Amino acid sequence: MILTLAWRNLWRQRRRTAFGVAAVAVTAAVVVFLPSLQAGSYAGLIRAYLGVLDGHAQVQAPDYLHTPAMRESFDVPAELQETLRTLPEGVGVSERGVAYVLLSSEARSLGAQVIGVEPRAERRVSTIPSGLVSGAYLEQDDEIVLGELLARNLRVSPGDAVTLLGVGRDGSLAADVLTVGGLFRSGVPDLDRRLGEISLERFDATFAMDGHRHAIVLGDAGSRDDRRAVERLRPAVVGQGLALRGWTELQPGLRAAIELDATAAALLYFVLVSVVVLSLLNTILTSVLERTGEFGMLMALGVRPELLSRVVWAETGVIALLGVSIGSLGGALLTTWLGRTGIDFESVQAVFERYGMSSTIYPELTPLTLLAGPAAIVAALVAVGFAPAFRIRKLSILSAMRGA
């Protein structure tokens, strides 16, 4: 009965009710679509940034993350190799060795980071092999590929020789002469300025690794199923005395930047929802004031103030649910459509390319982006609905009749 009365009362003022529902619907659509757009941009940023080098997870020695020394390596157990083979086909796996060395050309000498990689496997976990601007990617055992800026600083080009000096895993001097096979542009200037890659076999021989590795990189893991499969590796990895590091541990700065941006956006959504809720509260209070005489007459006929307050509170709930339902559906449909076609920000393409990202963003509709905003709107409207309901409870028959 209460819902029936609330519904009839609302449509006595059709225009006012329609405006209230429309305001809630537009707000609900906004707080579904914009967080989904943010989620899509974050996913694109994570894929672009981590896809260059780090991957979405790495198996490492327990102390390697905080002390990336040559000695913090591990021998890959046969049991772990078997477990890694059970990963979904979409998850790339590549073993690596990492060293910090002095690279010298005929013109200059510079400090650099050299990574030993499996050339074929690396193509599945890193975008560097596909980011060559000249030359080829590790076709010969004695080749090294360099970041474009590092090669420019060394004043070398494909075909030139560079000398490598470092320290092996056993503490011995590691020295080698390599031919520049190609130059890459990763999209991350810091990497292009300091990074070189050689084949893992050459790395093993040069740095006396004896089959030890500094990391096993797990790439892509773009789908939820892939991420769950990677996470299920944790017991097997820990059981071998190793650590499985997710991208949030590998790149805490990226995680902090995303969290900061999400917090700022949440504050904006809070302000937007607050404005709409307070506007609707003002509309409901105006409606209550207009019907004060009517309420007084009903109370004189024996209707309890509690019942009237419930009806008014139900009116607020009906507007909230109706508006949120329409808005959430519209926002979800818009997000789903744009999630397939993408939104091309061609005018700021240079900014995206600076971070190795595509200028096309695909919004991602998740349970969180679909439900969090609309639920907050409903909760806020239901909560403020107690204000006019409380006002009615305090009415006396005489004061209400005079209000008419």
Q: Tens digits of per-residue pLDDT, 247-284?
A: 888 888 888 988 998 999 999 998 988 888 888 877 77
Residue 307 to residue 392: CA distance in whole angstroms: 10
pLDDT tens-place string over residues 291-302: 666 666 666 666
pLDDT over threshold 60, residue 386: yes
Question: Residue 247 to residues 37, 56, 193, 259: CA-CA distances in angstroms?
Answer: 21, 5, 22, 14
Q: Are residues 14 and 139 in the same domain?
A: no
Query: Which residue range is the domain that position 214 belongs to?
Result: 55-250
User: Does residue 103 have a pLDDT over 80?
Assistant: yes
Q: How far apart (Å, rounded) are the C-alpha atoms in residues 155 and 161? A: 11
Query: How do residues 202-214 score in pLDDT, each as one tens digit?
Result: 999 999 999 999 9
**Is 0.85 surpassed by the pTM of this model?**
no
Phi-psi region of 349 (alpha: psi -120 to 50; beta: other; left: phi over 0): alpha
Q: Looking at the structure, do residues 189 and 41 belong to the same domain, yes or no?
A: no
341 or 388, higher pLDDT:
341
Q: Last residue of a domain, which of 200, 222, 250?
A: 250
Q: What is the number of domains present in the chain?
A: 2
Please report the pLDDT score of residue 162 as a whole number: 96
Chain mean pLDDT for the chain: 84
User: Per mean pLDDT, which of 10-14, 135-139, 279-283, 304-308 is the most reliable?
Assistant: 135-139
Q: What is the pLDDT of residue 290?
A: 64
Q: Is the pLDDT of residue 382 over 90?
A: no
> Alpha carbon 158 to chain centroid distance?
37
Question: Do 177 and 73 reside in the same domain of the chain?
Answer: yes
Residue 237 banded pLDDT, cuts 50, 70, 90: confident
Co-location of 263 and 236 in the same domain: no
Q: What are phi and psi of 342, to 5 degrees?
A: 80, 160
Which of 250, 273, 298 is where one domain is finished?
250
Q: Looking at the structure, do residues 40 and 115 belong to the same domain, yes or no?
A: no
Check: CB of residue 104 under 8 Å from CB of residue 221: no
pLDDT tier at 389 (50, 70, 90 boundaries)? Answer: low
Q: What is the pLDDT of residue 229?
A: 75
Closest by CA to 384, choosing from 320, 305, 332, is 320
Which range (6-10, 45-49, 324-328, 381-385) has the least confidence? 6-10
Residues 177 and 259 in one domain: no
Same domain, 34 and 83: no
Are both 219 and 274 inside the same structural domain? Answer: no
What's the rounded Cα separation, in Å, for the pair 339 and 321? 26
**Main-chain dihedrals φ then ψ at residue 288, nearest 5 degrees:** -65, -45
Residue 78's pLDDT band (cuts 50, 70, 90)? confident
For residue 9, the model assigns a pLDDT of 62
Same domain, 261 and 233: no
User: Average pLDDT, stretch 310-336?
Assistant: 85
Q: Measured between alpha carbons, how far is 296 from 303 in angstroms, rounded to an integer?
A: 9
The helix/strand/coil state of 357 is coil
Q: How confident is the model at residue 192 (pLDDT cuts 50, 70, 90)?
A: very high
Q: How many residues does the chain have?
A: 404
| pLDDT above 60 (res 400) | no
Measured CA to CA in angstroms, residue 208 lies from 60, 166, 167 at distances of 19, 11, 9
Percent of the chain with pLDDT over 70: 82
Indicate if the pLDDT at residue 349 is higher than 70: no
Q: H helices of 57-111, where?
A: 78-84
More confident residue, 141 or 222: 141
- In DSSP terms, which residues pair with 284 in a beta bridge? none
- The pLDDT value given to residue 3: 65
Question: With 80 as the cut, is the pLDDT of residue 328 above it?
Answer: yes
- Which of 196, 218, 250 is at the close of a domain? 250
Band (77; pLDDT cuts 50, 70, 90): confident
Q: How confident is the model at residue 393 (pLDDT cuts 50, 70, 90)?
A: low
Does residue 101 sit in the same domain as residue 238?
yes
| 342 and 308 assigned to the same domain | yes
Distance, in Å, from the CA atom of 380 to the CA atom of 277, rounded to the nearest integer, reads 7
Residue 164's closest CA among 115, 129, 121, 215? 115
Do 308 and 246 fall within a single domain?
no
Give the span between the Cα atoms of 174 and 163, in whole angstroms. 11
pLDDT the model gives residue 52: 85
Residue 305 confidence (pLDDT) above 80: no
Q: What pLDDT sits at residue 184? A: 94
Q: How many CB atoms lie within 10 A of CB 140?
A: 12
Q: Where are the alpha helices (DSSP H) in 224-300?
A: 224-231, 234-239, 247-250, 252-290, 292-300
Task: Please report which helix (H) or strand (E) contains residue 380, including its range.
Answer: helix 367-384
Region 288-314: mean pLDDT is: 66
Query: For residues 380 and 311, which has the higher predicted lDDT (pLDDT)?
Result: 380
Helix, strand, coil shares of the chain, percent, nearest 5, are 55, 20, 25
- Give the residues across from 236 on adjacent strands: none
User: pLDDT at position 291, please?
Assistant: 64
What pLDDT does residue 16 have?
76
Q: Could you read off the pLDDT of 49-73 as tens digits, one per residue?
A: 888 888 888 999 999 988 888 999 9
Round to whole Å and give the CA distance between 247 and 72. 20
